[in-house]
Structure 1
Amino acid sequence: MQRICVIGGNRYAGKLLVERLRAAGHRVTVVNRGSAPPPVGVERVVADRNDEAALTAALGHRTFDVVVDQVCYTPVQAATAARVFAGRTRRYVMTSTIEVYDPATAALPAVPPGTPVPEETVDPVTWPVAMDLPWHDGAYLEARYAEGKRQAEAVLARAGGFESAVVRSAHVLGGGAQEFTGRLAHYTGRVARGEEITVHANALPTVFIPHEELADLLLWAATADFTGPVNACSDGPFDVHDLIAVVAARVGREPVRRTVPAGEEASPFSFDRHYAMDNARAKELGFSFSRTTDWLPGAVAEALAAEPSPTV
């Protein structure tokens, strides 16, 4: 049994993680702003993680074996966490994203299409940090989501008050209405209604992970002893046409596609640039991944079931 603190953890994969930690016999404390009650047997600390003084006061004398940070988006948030949890925890695990590898958002080493992108493509130990940028501005942060994650990783990697690990998650799907981004629902709804889907002329593959598997991997990462980043994605890259085909097979309707001009934005998961991740490191450390082809049809079925009934 370990004492594990989850920052966030009140929806989707984070909520599943809390349930799995509790079921595994760990003592779990959730830190969030109190928008939803925790499961039975889980302690909740209500605090704004952006308010350092309030967070420190709310934690009191609590200490933990591990902290899993589900909602760290900027270097400022990471620096606050590093100060608050230095001396309170042995291990700090941050949930990050495949977007850190997006070559459209930073000058990164080129990886040829078809070659899975390894963790060393973005090294948090050497990545530059700029704390004086307007990270508190919501619009600024939304436009620089990937860079905020890269710099948050970098701050925690250099913090020194605990061992630091990062889980870089692929695009998360599954759970029907719980999948709050609506990206899979974009496809199920449009195919079902016969509406067009915009795609790139040469759409490149990406990688996915079901929300249950991400929760399992975070549980594993919390109780492991590796440091640094690991990529979290199911086996088998998919491009947007593969995804559409799975949806169309379930719906029983031919999809309508429209190819967009070069440089124009297309539907979610249609990419004109390559950054599909390599999950070899996590496997070498002992985690086993599912295959995308095995779980994606079920995720599509859940998304279709969550579609609102048409009005008469």
Structure 2
Amino acid sequence: MNKVLVLGGTRFFGKKLVEALLRQGADVTIATRGKTADSFGNAVKRITVDRTDSVAFESAIGSAEWDVVYDNICFTPQEAEEACAIFAGRVQRYILTSSLSVYEFGPERRSESDFNPYMYPIQLEEQSEHSYKEGKRCAEAVLLQKASFPVCTVRFPIVLGADDYTKRLHFHVEHVRQDKPIGIPYLEAKLSFISSDEAAEFLAWLKDNAVEGPVNACSTGELSLREIVTTVEEAVGQQAHVISDTSELDDGHKSPFGTADSWFMDTTKAQQHGFAFRNVTDWFVPLVRDIAAGRA
């Protein structure tokens, strides 16, 4: 499958996905709003469109057909429903970037069956009424219940990398270095993570592997908030100022990872299909060290 459309592909793991597809020899088209410059030159084709404008989106797609469509920017059931209509008869496979957010917090490792999008009620209210969690749940439900083409929904946890534009890990390094308070309600909470490199690698691998339905994708092993803080302390050479009661703490000092309970996934399905995930500490520790040293 070599003719590929990537909805969103100019930054973070979307950019790395395009680079991986090009290395595989794919014929890649990227569709973005054109607000972020890319470095792909003549290696890719481009469609400039705001996918939230359904009329403009359908017009921009035209009658083109693709073997695979990657959708990294679908956040609502409305956008998912529009995709079902626009790409009907024009795509052999559709891969949606979804999220760990579809699952509830808890001490147990979450498997795909813990949220069943095939049975989830489809809600098409206005976008403003949907949280990120609900938007992803409903987007999965719409695509997997309504699409006339095969769909895979990839549930990623927190994605980290030197290229993370949200600077979530940088936040912790800088707060420790500057002795600023970090609000973390529960230090023993265990979380799943994946690097931007591995996220892109997994998505590119899916192009030629017929995985359907929801699939979890995260690095092997979990990290507790305590382990994260300890790793940052060791890299910075300074003790963190952690505050567990965040009720009166300014939002700018609350950890982006500060969940009230554990939140991690089981990747048996992906592994049974043949994908081998890296151990989370193999890339997480070097990444923290690079950030602390100013190399990332």
TM superposition score normalised by structure 1: 0.88
Q: 1:277 aligns to what?
A: 265
- 1-structure distance, mates of 2:217, 2:194: 7
- 1-structure distance, mates of 2:68, 2:246: 47
Question: Which stretch shifts more, 44-53 or 184-193?
Answer: 44-53
Indicate whether 1:299 and 2:292 are aligned. Answer: no
- 1-structure distance, mates of 2:180, 2:226: 15
Change (3 A) 1:307 1:19: closer
Q: 2:109 aligns to what?
A: 116
Question: Which stretch shifts more, 185-194 or 12-21?
Answer: 185-194
One-letter amino acid of the structure 2 residue matched with residue 128 of structure 1: P
SS at match of 1:166: strand
Pairwise CA distance, 1:303: 2.7
Whether the aligned pair in 2 keeps the contact of 1:67 and 1:89 (CA below 8 Å) is yes
Of 105, 119, 134, 1:126 maps to 119
One-letter amino acid of the structure 2 residue matched with residue 64 of structure 1: W
Note the residue ranges of structure 2 that are not aligned, 5 or more in a row.
none
- The number of residue pairs the alignment matches comes to 291
Q: 2:49 aligns to what?
A: 47
Pairwise CA distance, 1:16: 0.4
Of 159, 167, 189, 2:146 maps to 159
Q: 1:60 aligns to what?
A: 62
SS at match of 1:269: coil
- 2-structure distance, mates of 1:270, 1:52: 36
Of 92, 95, 112, 2:94 maps to 92
- 2-structure distance, mates of 1:7, 1:201: 36
Of 221, 224, 227, 1:242 maps to 227
Question: Which stretch shifts more, 57-66 or 262-271?
Answer: 262-271
Whether the aligned pair in 2 keeps the contact of 1:205 and 1:274 (CA below 8 Å) is yes
Of 174, 184, 205, 1:189 maps to 174
Question: Which stretch shifts more, 196-205 or 299-308?
Answer: 299-308
Pairwise CA distance, 1:61: 2.4
One-letter amino acid of the structure 2 residue matched with residue 80 of structure 1: E
Note the residue ranges of structure 1 that are not aligned, 5 or more in a row.
104-110
Q: 2:190 aligns to what?
A: 205
SS at match of 2:95: strand
Of 226, 229, 239, 2:214 maps to 229
- 2-structure distance, mates of 1:295, 1:67: 29
Taking only the aligned residue pairs, the percentage that are identical comes to 34
Indicate whether 1:170 and 2:170 are aligned. Answer: no
Whether the aligned pair in 2 keeps the contact of 1:6 and 1:18 (CA below 8 Å) is yes
One-letter amino acid of the structure 1 residue matched with residue 83 of structure 2: A
The alignment's C-alpha RMSD in Å is: 2.1
One-letter amino acid of the structure 2 residue matched with residue 97 of structure 1: S
- 2-structure distance, mates of 1:272, 1:60: 46
Pairwise CA distance, 1:13: 0.1
Pairwise CA distance, 1:256: 1.7
SS at match of 1:92: strand
After superposition, the C-alpha distances for 1:191-219 in whole angstroms (9 at most, x for unaligned) are 11122222224631011000000000010
Find runs of 4+ consecutive structure 1 residues off by over 6 angstroms. Answer: 261-265
Question: Which stretch shifts more, 259-268 or 94-103?
Answer: 259-268
Pairwise CA distance, 1:274: 3.0
Change (3 A) 1:6 1:174: same
- 1-structure distance, mates of 2:238, 2:294: 18
TM superposition score normalised by structure 2: 0.92
Whether the aligned pair in 2 keeps the contact of 1:72 and 1:152 (CA below 8 Å) is yes
- 1-structure distance, mates of 2:245, 2:188: 11
- 2-structure distance, mates of 1:180, 1:51: 25
Whether the aligned pair in 2 keeps the contact of 1:203 and 1:272 (CA below 8 Å) is no
- 2-structure distance, mates of 1:306, 1:231: 32
